[in-house]
């Protein structure tokens, strides 16, 4: 089978990334995969095609749309991405008949591509839904629901759903949400297709943990401290004001033997770092976002993975960063909105502790408990890895997509 995979972020060497691992898994089942991804002009990279066995990758040039970008350029870039994907297909792959196209949000502007593939080849269109834009922008106060801009992107979102044969969502909460907010959709179009990676072999995990003392010493972390690590984007979506308040409270009522590593980038990184620096906390360290291999060495020193989501969200976000902590058999501590079913994932599977991201004192209580209760921390770590292997692998995601294609094709 020939599979086309469209995504805004892809690096063939970035093993452990959910898109990379899913693509590798698809290829391992004997399918030919073409991956098309944009590269923003700020990187000054050429348009290029690379071959990696049965995986072909193409990166095309586009305007900037991530991070600190002019709002006008970001809007134009987002609106034109679908047409740039289509242009790339016609330019480089016009004679290839694809059996299936898989595409991930964001962006949501894939409709021109889907319409072309459906008309020309009858291609099966599978949406891997990772972000409910524009509602996420409304929740964070970046867009008003009665604005022209919202109505434009909502129209594009509806077009995306209508052009899809199947929509795979990260949780059952997301399945319920999309059907409730889009009653024109048939219930059969939506299914749960969880985030998944290829688990690192357990012996390698053990080896990495044994070697992590070198990195701990290099980072200046006290030998016996319990390390809480946040890695990823630091922006409005993570609830910057809550995190600032959390560290302010930790200044007033510190928890002994804890060390916090904040590794990332984003619009909120400088603001958060400046606030924490002003508190003069000696157990918090900020590190700018690193290449994955370097980040993994820092990941190895962590005892607990931290997850943050802004309390204003009304959609069921499931942070993919969780997978890296599960892979390394680490407990999870989360502070999120009350809407997402991520809380149930954490609590029902006993992989960590949850609190609302409107309650910093509750988060501090959980930090204290995971610091002082080694038995709890070890149990959560064990369950975390077990959950990954049983419920959240790239193989599971592939089997769900393959089954949907088979049902559609029969």
Q: What is the pLDDT of residue 64?
A: 78
Q: What is the pLDDT of residues 159-215, one digit of tens each?
A: 999 999 999 999 999 999 999 999 999 999 999 999 999 999 999 999 999 999 999
Average pLDDT over the chain, rounded to whole? Answer: 93
Report the sign of the C-alpha dihedral through residues 250, 257, 289, 239, in that order: negative
User: What is the rounded average pLDDT of the residues 263-272?
Assistant: 91
C-alpha closest to that of 164 among 341, 1, 6, 395: 6
Q: What is the pLDDT of residue 104?
A: 95
**C-alpha R_g of the chain:** 21
Confidence class of residue 103 from pLDDT cuts 50, 70 and 90?
very high
**Residue 134: count of CB within 10 angstroms of its CB:** 21
User: What is the rounded average pLDDT of the residues 52-75?
Assistant: 84
Q: What is the pLDDT of residue 4?
A: 98
By the 8 A CB rule, do 19 and 10 touch? yes
Q: What is the pLDDT of residues 279-310, one digit of tens each?
A: 999 999 999 977 788 889 999 999 999 999 99
Confidence class of residue 327 from pLDDT cuts 50, 70 and 90?
very high
Q: Please name the residues in contact with 390: beta carbons below 8 A apart, sequence gap of 6 or more.
A: none
By the 8 A CB rule, do 363 and 352 touch? no
Angle at CA of residue 85, ends 79 and 86, nearest 5°? 100
pLDDT for 246 beyond 90? yes
> Is 379 exposed, middle or buried (CB count within 10 Å of its CB: 0-12, 13-18, 19+)?
middle
Confidence class of residue 22 from pLDDT cuts 50, 70 and 90?
very high
CA 8 to centroid of chain Cα atoms: 12
C-alpha closest to that of 397 among 135, 193, 118, 134: 193
pLDDT for 243 beyond 90? yes
Q: What is the pLDDT of residue 40?
A: 84
Q: What is the pLDDT of residues 374-396, one digit of tens each?
A: 999 999 999 999 999 999 999 99
pLDDT for 68 beyond 80? no
By the 8 A CB rule, do 81 and 62 touch? yes
Confidence class of residue 334 from pLDDT cuts 50, 70 and 90?
very high
Residue for token pair 């922006």: 235
pLDDT for 66 beyond 80? no
C-alpha closest to that of 136 among 359, 317, 8: 317
C-alpha closest to that of 305 among 388, 245, 241, 237: 388
HSE-up (13 A, CA, CB side) for residue 306: 28
Q: What is the pLDDT of residues 212-237, one digit of tens each?
A: 999 999 999 998 999 999 999 898 89
Q: What share of the chain is helix, strand, coil (3-state, %, to 5)?
A: 45, 20, 35
3 state SS of 206:
helix
pLDDT for 45 beyond 90? no
Domains of the chain by range and CATH? 2-197+393-409 (3.40.50.2000), 202-391 (3.40.50.2000)
By the 8 A CB rule, do 126 and 100 touch? yes
> What residues form DSSP beta bridges with 287?
263
Q: What is the pLDDT of residue 63?
A: 81
Beta strand residue intervals within 164-219, DSSP E: 166-169, 190-192
User: What is the rounded average pLDDT of the residues 69-76?
Assistant: 78
Q: What is the pLDDT of residue 13?
A: 86
> What residues form DSSP beta bridges with 37?
59
Q: State percent of the chain over pLDDT 70.
A: 100
Q: What is the pLDDT of residue 352?
A: 97
Query: How far apart (Å, rounded) are the C-alpha atoms in residues 276 and 65?
Result: 28
pLDDT for 154 beyond 80? yes
Q: What is the pLDDT of residue 135?
A: 94
C-alpha closest to that of 120 among 97, 136, 139: 97
φ and ψ of 193, to 5 deg? -130, 90
3 state SS of 197:
strand
Confidence class of residue 401 from pLDDT cuts 50, 70 and 90?
very high
pLDDT for 67 beyond 80? no
Widest distance between CA atoms in the chain = 65
User: What is the rounded average pLDDT of the residues 321-339?
Assistant: 96
By the 8 A CB rule, do 369 and 376 touch? yes
pLDDT for 72 beyond 90? no
pTM for the model: 0.93
């Amino acid at each position: 089978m020939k599979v086309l995979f469209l995504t805004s972020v892809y690096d063939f060497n970035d093993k452990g990334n959910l898109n990379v691992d899913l693509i590798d898994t698809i290829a391992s089942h004997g399918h030919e995969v073409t991956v098309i991804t944009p590269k923003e002009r700020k990187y000054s990279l050429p348009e290029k095609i690379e071959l990696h066995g049965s995986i072909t990758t193409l990166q095309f040039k586009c305007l900037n749309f991530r991070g600190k970008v002019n709002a006008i350029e970001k809007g134009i870039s987002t609106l034109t991405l679908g047409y740039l994907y289509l242009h790339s297909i016609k330019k480089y792959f016009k004679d290839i008949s694809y059996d299936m196209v898989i595409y991930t949000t964001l962006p949501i502007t894939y409709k021109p591509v889907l319409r072309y593939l459906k008309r020309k080849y009858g291609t099966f269109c599978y949406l891997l839904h990772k972000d409910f834009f524009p509602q996420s922008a409304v929740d964070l106060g970046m867009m008003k629901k009665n604005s022209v801009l919202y109505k434009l992107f909502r129209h594009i979102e509806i077009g995306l759903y209508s052009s899809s044969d199947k929509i795979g969502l990260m949780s059952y909460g997301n399945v319920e949400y999309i059907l409730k907010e889009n009653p024109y959709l048939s219930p059969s179009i939506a299914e749960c297709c969880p985030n998944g990676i290829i688990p690192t072999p357990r012996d390698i995990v053990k080896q990495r943990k044994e070697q992590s003392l070198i990195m701990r010493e290099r980072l200046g972390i006290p030998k016996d401290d319990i390390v809480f690590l946040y890695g990823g984007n630091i922006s409005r979506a993570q609830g910057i004001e809550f995190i600032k308040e959390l560290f302010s409270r930790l200044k007033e009522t510190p928890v002994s033997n804890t060390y916090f590593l904040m590794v990332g980038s984003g619009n909120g990184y400088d603001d958060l770092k400046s606030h924490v620096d002003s508190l003069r906390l000696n157990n918090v360290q900020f590190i700018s976002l690193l290449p994955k291999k370097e980040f993994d060495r820092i990941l190895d020193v962590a005892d607990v993975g931290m997850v943050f989501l802004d309390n204003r969200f009304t959609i069921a976000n499931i942070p993919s960063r969780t997978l890296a902590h599960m892979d390394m058999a680490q407990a999870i501590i989360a502070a999120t909105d009350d809407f997402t079913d991520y809380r149930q994932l954490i609590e029902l599977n006993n992989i960590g502790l949850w609190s609302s991201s409107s309650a910093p004192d509750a988060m501090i209580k959980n930090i204290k408990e995971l610091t002082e209760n080694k038995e709890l921390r070890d149990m959560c770590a064990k369950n975390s890895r077990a959950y990954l292997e049983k419920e959240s692998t790239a193989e599971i995601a592939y089997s769900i997509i393959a089954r949907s294609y088979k049902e559609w094709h029969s």
